[in-house]
Amino acid sequence: FSNDIENLLKNEIFFFPASYRRAYQIEETDNANILLRSEVLNKLNNKRNPIIVTYSEALSEKVVSRKELKKHTVTLKIKDDIAIDFLEEMLDHLNFQKIDFVIKAGQYSIRGGILDVYSFADENPFRIEFFDTEIESIRTFDINTQLSISTENKITIIPNTEAKKSIESQVSFLEYLPKNSVIWTKDIKYSKGILDDYFDRATEQYNKVSDSAIQHISPEYLFTNAYHFSKELKQFLVIENSNHPYFEIEKTITINTNPLTKINKQFDLLKEDLLKNKEAGIDNIILCSSDEQEERFNAIFEHTEEELNYKCILFSLHEGYIDYTNKQAIYTDHQIFDRYHKFKSKTKFTNNQAITIKQLTSLDIGDFVTHIDHGVGRFEGLHKIENNGKYQEVIKLTYKQGDILYISIHSLHKIAKFSGKEGIEPKINQLGSPVWQKTKQKAKEKVKQIAFNLIQLYAKRKSQKGFQFTPDTYLQHELEASFMYEDTPDQIKATIDIKQDMEKEMPMDRLICGDVGFGKTEIAIRAAFKAVADSKQVAVLVPTTILALQHYKTFKKRLKHLPCTLDYISRFKTPKEQMETLERVARAEVDILIGTHRIVGKDVKFLDLGLLIIDEEQKFGVNIKDKLKVFKENIDTLTLSATPIPRTLQFSLLGARDLSIINTPPPNRQSVETIIIGMSQETIRYAISYEMERNGQVFFVHNRIENINEVSGLLQKLCPDAKIRVGHGQMEGKKLEELMIDFIEGDFDVLVSTTIIENGVDVSNANTIIINNAHNFGLSDLHQMRGRVGRSNKKAFCYLISPAIHTLSEESRKRLIALEQFSTLGSGFKIAMRDLDIRGAGDLLGADQSGFINDIGFETYQKILNEAVEELKQEKFQDLFADEKKIFYVKDCQLETDLEILIPDTYVSNISERLNLYKELNNFTGQEEIIAFID
């Protein structure tokens, strides 16, 4: 609706959402929605008259009064005389958090005479530069690149309007509106019902928490009820779109429109409609999402004898209608072709989660580091050393027997943070001992052999001839246009990459890597149909029976209107059913076969296999991988992985395997709020009840089959109205299949299961997951399970049940805190650095290399691997890489200067951040990077 209004009026429309703050919730709420709410209040406070779109749930929450907001708003402009220390005090008073890097609203940082602050009502943070006590410049900047976006003369800094609430500071949103506002509403009676429902729930929750030590504000001061809502509405000019108006009518406006006949690809029916309208003197207008769609309509009607009288316009509305007053019939292309309407999503206030790799590899005092020449030591911080009256900053490392090594900041490329398996402490080397050189040489020889095998495999693939697929058909365009979500830039690029690979003679071997829920399956579906369109069969290999069933349902749903037959093979089918499926595959009566490792069995014969899709290859055993090597020869192969790959490793892989990275989350997707809780029956009851109240479903993970039914019984006592069922891997195949289908189709509310749901289960209506004994799981397992929720535009929650944090082992405590900390979209790339890298890299390169990594550290391993690949390209595979730009490694380079080269700690006080800046400078390869850095 908001998108339609914006398209029609060409004005900026402001959206006022609910904060997702559950009544008397203590945890932090979603920043994106608070920002949107604050932005609207700020616009109204500045005497603007914006167009605001909102809904009943958002109106149920009261907002801070104009007086209170004004009192806590800081206004700054160029040339203002204000001390940076005084501004820091003001921000502290407004509960802004001082940190090293500003990445979200409510934070600020100071570096010398520069203050960065992220207000709660602005899309980007501000960078304020001082000259003594005078504000010299104000700029907005990008949190990812730190580069300036625009200059500002005057700004307002607004704190979190949802944080501290008091009785006198809260008013309803309608009270906040100017009295000359016009309110358009669809159904006042329905809105009142929702407001009363929310108020009753808040009262119920208040009665439960009022006995606690924390004093809570009564619900009438925090929420609006239906009585006050209708009373406040009377003060405004209200336009109600209803056949049964709530208020007494002063004036009636009749809109003489009707919905259009549903076409659903029935073009004869569309022709009849167009002709009928023409005879009635009604103009036919078809709204198209692209020029290609207009060409398509022209092609469809090209050979029609009658004059249809229609006009195509490049425009977007969510549905068409016939307007009898203005004699117009408005059709939309997505309704004609029976597709989802995809509106352009707004990027404003979306959580851009690119906390960079430099923050993941930041060094803290006490961390282990690897020096390429001296081995593993311990980082002891940055120290200043005087040399001929000049000070230089150096890195202090300690080694075995207390030996100390000082490293110049010019030699930063020689050290790297030690990343090994969690819980395994590395052996510290002794300075001057030959042990490190031997370890490094041994690793290099082995790595070089691995790199040699990789490049040889690539050379073999390049020399082979596979099937050259033809360019896209109109059906391929139809499939892609019918995707219900807007493609992310990474999805578009990955799709283009795959098609280009498939249209070459050389067999494709491409890896698609992206976090859970980022749209890899959709890319696989498009590739599969492209193969089917050329009369080729497709095999989709998945690690679990549950995932096979899930993929079968997803593929079938997406391809339902297209000429394509699908089947699957897993233990969910009887031996007889499996045999029938295989016979159909052998006769090419099945275009796409989805299955577990059974697919690579000797009895599986494809008549004309053209594409192999492998999901989560790293989860298969060695035997399956060996079979795949034979299976993959001359056949296009597409591999999907949710195991993130560090950027530094990507370069090593590019020569051996084509790689597409999906970093961007789908539009309007929200982060999963992650909360560590004890075994609190009240919290569990509330979490399940809250999800059921919004017609959602819940995963409850309990990984012990022997007492899983007892846990289910406890949940049933806590939530007597909930429909609860149990699932685990020891169930009979058919029963487990039926259970999963019932849950996917929403037949029951809570699925109590083991970790069988970890991979690939996609239930968009399930937006709460509760993981029992979370401290017993690995970080990547927890991240995968959390990835089962938050797959729609609804706010999702993940509760981690564990004993008190202080009673856990250090490793368990770190895992849970990391998961809670990295709850943002795309955080798999951050979690990777903690838990996934080692296994991911070893499996990806086709060899178990975790032994070396534990000896020398992951970053050093990557460095050696990169060098090995480059050396081989230039020594043994010159012809293969003749057209490629060569990289020559300089063994060592020393810079000597009389100048003081350091960043003052008064400018950047945090050691870790100062070291990051030195590393960034050290890695520059061109003048453009230096200019960007200075900016």
Condensed to tens digits (0 to 9), the pLDDT of residues 623-634 reads 776 677 666 668
Provide the token pair at 370: 């690897």
Q: Which residues contact 621 (CB under 8 A, 6 or more apart)?
A: none
Tell me, yes or no, whether 634 and 708 share the same domain.
no
Tell me, yes or no, whether 89 and 172 share the same domain.
no
The CA–CA distances, whole Å, from 172 to 175, 269, 295, 745 equal: 5, 50, 51, 38
- For residues 543 and 729, what is the distance between their CA atoms, to the nearest angstrom? 14
Tell the burial category of 220 from Cβ atoms under 10 Å away from its Cβ (0-12, 13-18, 19+). middle
The CA–CA distances, whole Å, from 744 to 522, 542, 727, 740 equal: 18, 19, 13, 6
- Written as one letter, the residue type at 22 is R
- Written as one letter, the residue type at 539 is A
Q: pLDDT tens digits for 492-518?
A: 999 999 999 999 988 888 888 887 778
Name the pLDDT band for 456 (thresholds 50, 70, 90).
Answer: confident
CATH code assigned at 142? 3.30.2060.10
- For residues 711 and 97, what is the distance between their CA atoms, to the nearest angstrom? 41
Q: Which residues contact 302 (CB under 8 A, 6 or more apart)?
A: none
Please determine, for residue 597, whether its predicted confidence score (pLDDT) is greater than 50: yes
Instruction: Tell me the torsion sign for CA atoms 300, 305, 308, 314.
Output: positive
Please determine, for residue 115, whether its predicted confidence score (pLDDT) is greater than 70: yes
Name the pLDDT band for 893 (thresholds 50, 70, 90).
Answer: low
**3-state class (DSSP) for residue 233:** helix
Cβ distance 664 to 638 under 8 Å?
A: no
Higher-confidence residue: 110 or 658? 110
Provide the token pair at 34: 């608070």
Tell the burial category of 249 from Cβ atoms under 10 Å away from its Cβ (0-12, 13-18, 19+). exposed
Q: pLDDT tens digits for 357-387?
A: 344 456 778 888 888 889 889 988 888 887 7
Q: What is the dihedral of CA 414, 416, 420, 426, to 10 degrees?
A: 60
Tell me, yes or no, whether 523 and 591 share the same domain.
yes
The CA–CA distances, whole Å, from 655 to 624, 649, 880 equal: 24, 11, 10
Q: Phi, psi (5° rounding) for residue 488?
A: -80, 160
Provide the token pair at 568: 């699957």
- For residues 421 and 837, what is the distance between their CA atoms, to the nearest angstrom? 9
Domain closes at, from 240, 275, 299? 240
- How confident is the model at residue 711, as a pLDDT? 92
Please determine, for residue 351, whether its predicted confidence score (pLDDT) is greater than 50: no
- How confident is the model at residue 770, as a pLDDT? 93
Domain closes at, from 240, 272, 293? 240
Please determine, for residue 68, whether its predicted confidence score (pLDDT) is greater than 90: no
Terminal-to-terminal C-alpha distance of the chain:
41
Tell the burial category of 498 from Cβ atoms under 10 Å away from its Cβ (0-12, 13-18, 19+). buried
- For residues 154 and 162, what is the distance between their CA atoms, to the nearest angstrom? 24
Which of the 8 DSSP states describes residue 218? -
Provide the token pair at 890: 């300089």
Among 347, 318, 348, 322, smallest CA distance to 333 is for 318
Which of the 8 DSSP states describes residue 333? H
CATH code assigned at 59? 3.40.50.300
Looking from the CA of 117 toward its CB, the CA atoms found within 13 Å total 26
Higher-confidence residue: 891 or 569? 569
Q: Which residues contact 171 (CB under 8 A, 6 or more apart)?
A: 62, 63, 64, 65
Provide the token pair at 642: 């949710």
Q: Which residues pair with 796 in a beta bridge?
A: 672
Tell me, yes or no, whether 179 and 108 share the same domain.
no
- How confident is the model at residue 7, as a pLDDT? 78
The CA–CA distances, whole Å, from 218 to 22, 69, 221, 277, 443 equal: 14, 21, 6, 59, 66
Name the pLDDT band for 78 (thresholds 50, 70, 90).
Answer: very high
Tell me the mean pLDDT in the region 595-601: 87
- For residues 554 and 594, what is the distance between their CA atoms, to the nearest angstrom? 11
Cβ distance 751 to 778 under 8 Å?
A: no
Q: Phi, psi (5° rounding) for residue 652?
A: -65, -35
- For residues 142 and 112, what is the distance between their CA atoms, to the nearest angstrom? 20
Name the pLDDT band for 622 (thresholds 50, 70, 90).
Answer: low
Provide the token pair at 935: 């900016």
Q: pLDDT tens digits for 510-548?
A: 888 887 778 889 999 999 999 999 999 999 999 888 888
Residue 248: inside a domain, yes or no? no
Tell me the mean pLDDT in the region 344-367: 52
Minimum mean pLDDT among 307-321, 491-505, 719-733, 834-848: which range? 834-848
Q: Which helix (H) or strand (E) holds 63?
A: strand 63-64
Cβ distance 382 to 912 under 8 Å?
A: no
**3-state class (DSSP) for residue 106:** coil
Residues in the chain: 935
Residue 401: inside a domain, yes or no? no
- Written as one letter, the residue type at 136 is E
Please determine, for residue 472, whether its predicted confidence score (pLDDT) is greater than 80: yes
Residue 462: inside a domain, yes or no? yes
Tell me, yes or no, whether 141 and 215 share the same domain.
no
Please determine, for residue 784, whether its predicted confidence score (pLDDT) is greater than 50: yes
Please determine, for residue 834, whether its predicted confidence score (pLDDT) is greater than 60: no
- How confident is the model at residue 847, as a pLDDT? 47
Minimum mean pLDDT among 84-98, 184-198, 207-221: which range? 207-221
Mean residue pLDDT of the chain comes to 80
Tell me, yes or no, whether 601 and 499 share the same domain.
yes
Tell me, yes or no, whether 567 and 492 share the same domain.
yes
Residue 435: inside a domain, yes or no? no
Tell me the mean pLDDT in the region 584-606: 90
- How confident is the model at residue 856, as a pLDDT? 74
Tell me the mean pLDDT in the region 812-821: 71
- How confident is the model at residue 353, as a pLDDT? 38
Q: Which residues contact 686 (CB under 8 A, 6 or more apart)?
A: 22, 205
Q: Whose structure tokens read 């004004």?
A: 70
**3-state class (DSSP) for residue 917:** helix
- For residues 721 and 418, what is the distance between their CA atoms, to the nearest angstrom? 52
Provide the token pair at 430: 């002794």
Please determine, for residue 812, whether its predicted confidence score (pLDDT) is greater than 90: no
Please determine, for residue 752, whether its predicted confidence score (pLDDT) is greater than 90: yes
The DSSP bridge pattern shows strands 750-753 and 182-185 to be unpaired
Instruction: Using a cut of 0.85, tell me whether the model's pTM lies above it.
Output: no
The DSSP bridge pattern shows strands 107-111 and 114-117 to be antiparallel
Tell me, yes or no, whether 562 and 536 share the same domain.
yes
Tell me, yes or no, whether 151 and 168 share the same domain.
no
Minimum mean pLDDT among 44-53, 405-414, 778-787, 912-921: which range? 912-921
Provide the token pair at 510: 């491409």
Please determine, for residue 32, whether its predicted confidence score (pLDDT) is greater than 50: yes
Tell me the mean pLDDT in the region 826-830: 51
Among 313, 329, 320, 319, smallest CA distance to 280 is for 329
Domain closes at, from 306, 336, 366? 336
Residue 746, by phi and psi: left (phi above 0), alpha (psi -120 to 50) or beta? left
- For residues 523 and 488, what is the distance between their CA atoms, to the nearest angstrom? 11
Among 381, 349, 352, smallest CA distance to 364 is for 381
Query: Which range marks the domain in which residue 316 is found?
Result: 257-336
Please determine, for residue 218, whether its predicted confidence score (pLDDT) is greater than 70: yes
- For residues 318 and 912, what is the distance between their CA atoms, to the nearest angstrom? 50
CB atoms within 10 A of CB 291: 10
Residue 443: inside a domain, yes or no? no
Q: Which residues contact 910 (CB under 8 A, 6 or more apart)?
A: 100
Tell me, yes or no, whether 509 and 637 share the same domain.
yes
Q: Which helix (H) or strand (E) holds 500?
A: helix 489-502
- Radius of gyration, CA atoms only, the chain: 31
Higher-confidence residue: 39 or 398? 398
Count of domains forming the chain = 5
Q: Whose structure tokens read 């057209």?
A: 883
Q: Which residues contact 649 (CB under 8 A, 6 or more apart)?
A: 841, 844, 862, 865
What share of the chain in percent tops pLDDT 70? 81
Tell me, yes or no, whether 624 and 691 share the same domain.
no
Please determine, for residue 837, whether its predicted confidence score (pLDDT) is greater than 50: no
Please determine, for residue 143, whether its predicted confidence score (pLDDT) is greater than 70: yes
Residue 461: inside a domain, yes or no? yes
Q: pLDDT tens digits for 227-240?
A: 998 888 888 888 88
Tell me, yes or no, whether 763 and 646 share the same domain.
no
Residue 440: inside a domain, yes or no? no
Name the pLDDT band for 9 (thresholds 50, 70, 90).
Answer: confident
Tell me the mean pLDDT in the region 127-138: 91
Residue 689: inside a domain, yes or no? yes
- Written as one letter, the residue type at 604 is V
